[in-house]
Chains A and B, each alone.
Chain A
């Protein structure tokens, strides 16, 4: 019934791992000519067309092909039984970098990486040391998504203050670290801009069925929420639809969702495409974070906010200042868990 259940599960423990990755030294491998380099991707069961990070990873792969001139191989798993054989296939085909998209791969990658010590693997949204046996040929591509959450939360706070809103809300797909860190950042940012703001949060336990997220957002708007932040992939589009119909603002997630209409205040970004392309470019130069993580943050351009709507543009200056403060480290220790 849920053939295309868009479940993209991911791990974070980002705060702890930021420190870890700073400590981890990049091991050097020899440089490879781009024309002889193959970038492989295995997408999880959410599918390449998930409007979320499978799709962004695929975009990054296509960009790497266009800009760096590497060859690509894409395999899309239709069930978790495909994970091990597909990773194996790309390793056996001699791909230079095999990217597993998401936490779902954690067990499979642990098995395969051990069998192919010469192949380099990367896993998205997951710290490398979460993998059993901590293999040295795996790097994690993690995201400080609480920063993106903080930024869109801060903007929501500013808009609320200006318009006299008392309540804003978020709809999460599931209580998992990659979702929670967005929401924790959102609440912290909102509170920083408007300390009196009230936050509602609920989970749909679904990443696909829009009707569910729409119902939850409807309930929240009924309780006074004026801005709805969706962190639920395809399901969350329903939350944005509710915002549109009830005259509230919506905030998109992962990719820029401003194309949905003028009611999208902005989007909290997780630029998986940039991360994939950057990891490829590094490896071409012989740089690989063996057993460590490449942490994507506002500093690397991996997190941030998307296109601002007319209302958001009024606060563009203040928002840019906050972004600079996060970058400089003036704003730090943004929470990753919702209290």
Chain B
């Protein structure tokens, strides 16, 4: 199959990742077939489980009600994934590998629940805003610490963010544990925080508010993606971030304050992750337990989401939706014991996610399948130093396309 030349560059940029995801699902289907599960039944069941069948007008009655609830859950799961995805993606664009979204999320949830359960005489709307802002600020500060260490003493952000993750987890565990300073008054000896009063919940606009309907957190996620796009593509800061991501030395030579750039970049990343925690805490969690602290995965999944979304705003939103749908779809409906052993289902989810990410790591398969010219450089995630050499000098347009699309890659993360 060869694409006609009339297909635009944007079209191709979209087609390649889409094809890759399709291939991933085919491979995962093969795995299921080999392990004795019917892949077609399973995929239909996963699809129904995500609630996306709600979009079909012919689905009606009870099925439609259930579909709407499933879709609400998919979107509830998507919102924080968008935000942690953005937290990782923004750093990648600056050439930084932010493994610390989990820690930034953790400190954010501590502050969100603390502000949300204190100051109870505040105006509810202000109270909600204050909790969200507090979470974003502490997340930003926590991440900026890693950026500052990199800027001032050159500490590699991979080390500092991993360490800060664990420090955040243990400090938060200490705060909520038995006799900890933030343990709830009604906790009966259990390691949980106070419970958020009803008027500090994020408003639910679709579904039953008592049954974890869809809250406005999804809009916070989408708005953050727009902000991400605007900063990255329409501001001097974004230009500088991308320049540093490309080549910090060249950026320094061009008069960009690279050190300051690292701190600002990480602060923005952390703010996204902090926002993610506030969306969860105020949206459906309403309290924080030590089990939530140590069991949460949303920051780590953010890495996969960002990479899957090629570190662009729109890509991250799409990838977060895919992951949110997979988590919701594989778990709830598919655990029917007659289809698959319920103890195995969550493992299968992980395998599918792993395959999707693995196959997305290279475009070469899709590029070959679509018959795109290899010299487009689409197989190369590296926009840095030797990209120019890899491209033919007269193919300036293709070069521009490749750089545009793959500004993405964790270029100079240098591990």
Contacts and interface: CB of A to CB of B under 8 A. Distances in A.
Given A76-B342, A89-B332, A180 B189 contact: yes
B287 interface: yes
A323 interface: no
A76 B341 CA distance: 11
Interface residues of A, number: 47
Given A84-B211, A85-B69, A78 B188 contact: no
Interface stretch (A4-12, A162-170, A215-223, A307-315): A4-12
A9 B191 contact: yes
Given A76-B331, A81-B284, A107-B287, A7 B190 contact: no
Nearest to A177: B189
B296 to A, nearest CB: 7
Contacts of A84: 211-212, 284
Interface string B207-218: 010111000000
A49 B287 CA distance: 26
A148 to B, nearest CB: 19
Interface string A176-205: 110010000000000000000000000001
Interface in A75-92: 75-82, 84-86, 88-89, 92
B169 to A, nearest CB: 9
A114 B210 contact: yes
Given A48-B342, A78-B346, A177 B190 contact: yes
Q: How large is the interface on B (under 10, 10 to 19, 20 to 34, 35 or more residues)?
A: 35 or more
A47 interface: yes
A1 B280 contact: no
Contact of A176 (B191, B195, B208, B300): B191
A319 interface: no
A84 B70 CA distance: 12
A48 B343 CA distance: 6
A72 interface: yes
Contacts of B296: 79
A104 B291 contact: yes
A85 B188 contact: no
Interface string B289-328: 1111011110010000000000000000000000000010
Contacts of B69: 85, 88-89
A45 B211 contact: no
A137 interface: no
B63 to A, nearest CB: 12
Contacts of B289: 9, 104
Nearest to A88: B211
A243 interface: no
Contacts of A78: 327, 331, 346, 349
B331 A3 contact: no
Given A13-B189, A78-B346, A85-B69, 8 more contacts: A1-B300, A3-B297, A9-B191, A58-B342, A75-B342, A103-B190, A176-B189, A206-B294
